[in-house]
Amino acid sequence: MKGLVVKNTGSWYTVRTDDGQLLDCKVKGNFRLKGIRTTNPVAVGDRVEVNEEGWIVNIEDRRNYIIRKSINLSKQSHIIAANVDQAFLIVTVANPQTSTTFIDRFLASAEAYRVPVVLIFNKTDLLDEDTLRYQQAVVNLYETIGYECRQISAETGEGVEELHAMLDGKITLLSGNSGVGKSTLINRLVPGANLRTAEISDAHNTGMHTTTFSEMISLDSGYLIDTPGIKGFGTFDMEPEEITSYFKDIFHFSKDCRFSNCTHTHEPGCAVLKAVEEHYIAESRYQSYLSMLDDKEEGKYRESQ
């Protein structure tokens, strides 16, 4: 029988079959996807085939997915979710602060796998005037590049109502660092979800994990995919020459470079370096690009705080 993977606890997968059953299923240890070394061969959002014994025996072709490098196994990947219509990346400029490097890495990976992203700036109610100005500057940066941004407070409900129409009829992945308020936002969007929330750690001003597994939550029309908070976003399976095309702003200027194989690091006649110097490309974006090049050259995972 066939169905949709709606929960992944790490050892079990809950599958909603096409006839409405919820089955707890497993995969055999030697189950692997061709061409992808991953810690989780099956992800929430996958369409799968299940046999009578409750084993997942086949995965249908994915139309897209969000993937990142596994923290502990640098040569393997972790698939966050599959077959999504869009992703909401929840970010906060304080309590805790989401780095622009983390944002840029997520956006680049989403570009690589053709997943539209909306940036949701949460905890606006906690910001003073200076921090609000900084947030607006970050919003202006990403809107200028071409990304939709929303400023909300999941705690007070400010700006949340406008998100409902954006979710209608779509499968939406919610992702972000620990502590940015994903669970609070879901509780606002889905009355009765009753997800656990936790206070920010005073010692490190970082979030504490409250979601421990990935789960697909039904909406009136559509689904939300809730995922555990992530500290860093190591990009996976990107060649250096491809990375430019995953940065919309850098790619725009790269067409004017003197050399077609320009790495935008030192070459004469590099239009990207000129654009950075003249502030047409933000320094933060360029540094994120360099950090991803560095990942490939060093073969390492970088935790982007």
The CATH number assigned to the domain holding 37 equals 2.40.50.140
Average pLDDT over residues 214-234: 83
Predicted pLDDT at 305? 43
> CA-CA distance, 288 to 281, in Å (whole number)?
12
The answer to whether residues 7 and 52 belong to one domain is yes
Q: What is the mean pLDDT of the chain?
A: 86
Res 207 pLDDT > 60: no
User: Using one digit for the tens of pLDDT, what is the confidence trace for 103-130?
Assistant: 999 999 899 889 999 999 999 999 999 9
Q: Is 146 annotated as a binding residue?
A: no
Domain that holds residue 107: 81-198+213-226
Q: Is 210 annotated as a binding residue?
A: no
Q: Is 183 annotated as a binding residue?
A: yes
Predicted pLDDT at 239? 78
Number of domains the chain is built from: 3
Q: Is 124 annotated as a binding residue?
A: yes
The set of residues, in sequence order, having a beta carbon less than 8 Å from that of 165 and lying 6+ positions away, is: none
Q: Is 176 annotated as a binding residue?
A: yes
Predicted pLDDT at 287? 97
Q: Is 192 annotated as a binding residue?
A: no
The CATH number assigned to the domain holding 96 equals 3.40.50.300
Average pLDDT over residues 22-51: 79
Share of the chain above pLDDT 70, in %: 82
For the ranges 100-114, 122-136, 203-217, the maximum mean pLDDT occurs at: 122-136
> CA-CA distance, 55 to 57, in Å (whole number)?
6
Average pLDDT over residues 4-25: 92
Predicted pLDDT at 303? 46
For the ranges 33-42, 77-86, 251-260, the maximum mean pLDDT occurs at: 251-260
Average pLDDT over residues 67-90: 77
Decide if 66 is inside a domain.
no
Q: Is 123 annotated as a binding residue?
A: yes
Residue pair 246/237 in contact (Cβ under 8 Å)? The answer is no
Q: Is 255 annotated as a binding residue?
A: no
Decide if 203 is inside a domain.
no
The CATH number assigned to the domain holding 287 equals 1.10.40.50
Q: Is 229 annotated as a binding residue?
A: no
The answer to whether residues 257 and 163 belong to one domain is no
Predicted pLDDT at 117? 97
Look at 25-29, 215-219, 246-250 and tell me which has the smallest mean pLDDT: 25-29
Decide if 75 is inside a domain.
no
Res 85 pLDDT > 90: yes
Decide if 73 is inside a domain.
no
Q: Is 19 annotated as a binding residue?
A: no
Predicted pLDDT at 203? 39
Decide if 206 is inside a domain.
no
Tokens linked to 79: 């698939």
The answer to whether residues 160 and 261 belong to one domain is no
For the ranges 144-148, 196-200, 201-205, 226-230, the maximum mean pLDDT occurs at: 144-148
The answer to whether residues 146 and 265 belong to one domain is no
Of 302 and 149, more confident? 149
Q: Is 157 annotated as a binding residue?
A: no
